[in-house]
Each structure stands twice: as C-alpha cells, then as structure tokens.
Amino acid sequence: MMIAFILLGALAIAGGVVAIAARNAVHAALGLVGTLLSVAGLFATMSASFLAATQVIVYAGAIMVLFLFVIMLLNANAPVSTADPIPYVRELAGIGGTVLAGAFVVLAYTFKDPQPLARGVAGVRDGTANVMGETLLTRFLLPFEAVSILLLVAIVGAVALVQRPAAQPDGVDDREEVLAPSAPASVSHLPEREVRA
C-alpha cells in the first residue's frame, strides 16, 4: 500500500509540473487531469472510496471538461509570448522557489513526529457516503443550501451569457430593404433630348 501511495504521489506531482510548465493550454489541462486522478487514487489507498469517486466525477470529469471547452472556445491553446514583462522575473522566481523548498525541508526535519500535533483532534466517524450525507443535511444544512443556490445562479448566468439573440422571422430583411429610403436615381444613363432651334 505504501508503494502505491508513493507512486500516486509522484504521478500527482508530475502532473502538477506539467500543468505549470506546459506552454500549450490543452497539455496543461491534461496534466491537471492526471494530477486529479492521482489524488483520487490517493484517496482510494486511504480507504476513502466516496472521496475518490467524487474526485473523479466532479473534478476530473465535470470541471476538466468545462476547462477544455473554455480552452477550445477561446482558442487559448495559441502560443503565448515568452517575453518577460518584469525584469529578472525568472531569477526572482527561482530564488523564491529555492527559499520555499528550503523552508519545507526545515519544517520536515523539525516535525519528525506528527503525533503531538494530532493529539487534540477528536475522533472522526467513518467517512462513508451515509455519514457525510447525514452531516451535510443536519449540521451543515444552511451552508449546503447556500452553495446550491450559488450554483443555480451560476448556471442561470452562464446560460444567459451564452444565449444568442433569437433569429429574425423570414422576410424581415426584405421589408427593411423596401421601407429603407432609396438612393436618388442616377441621371447619367438617361437619353439626352435633342435641342431644336
């Protein structure tokens, strides 16, 4: 089980690196899909089957399909300019990343035994779908309903934004042309009258 945990963790990190480093937006989205699936596998190794299924269905399924639709509709897979708008931004990012990695290493060596930090945590019941549903619909009912209303408003707003105006009925353009003021007729093609003395 520990080997599977380590492999899935490495895959999740690799997918995250691809999502950050890829220049093509579609490749970055696929790297994020790999990360989300690996996290679902990590949940499965910890016997949290409901969280693993939710991770696959919601994040790796619905959210990433939405991301890919947005990328394809906005043509976001076009190459991005590599010119740095801020001078020395790469050097500063490298220094900041090194400092952050060093801080993580120091924290990892400082807290070798995590048991003292977890002694005050109360016991958690079995994380099955039954227990989670009961908790959501009793203790957290108000936040749950607020989130559902927020999602409903987001769906209605998305539909209103993408809705195209209704097509005009047949013959409207013709009537507009008939009712439009006509341009003055050109007199260059009229025959000239003969002038008699």
User: pLDDT tens for residues 143-155?
Assistant: 889 888 988 888 8
Assigned domain for 98 exists: no
Q: What is the DSSP letter of 85?
A: S
Tell me the pLDDT tens digit for each residue of 5-32: 899 999 999 999 999 988 888 888 889 9
Angle at which helices 25-45 and 64-73 cross, to 10°: 180
CA distance 176 to 192: 35
Number of domains the chain contains: 2
CATH assignment at residue 25: 1.20.120.1200
Tell me the pLDDT tens digit for each residue of 143-188: 889 888 988 888 887 777 776 665 555 555 544 544 555 555 555 5
Assigned domain for 152 exists: yes
In terms of residue numbers, what domain contains 68? 1-78
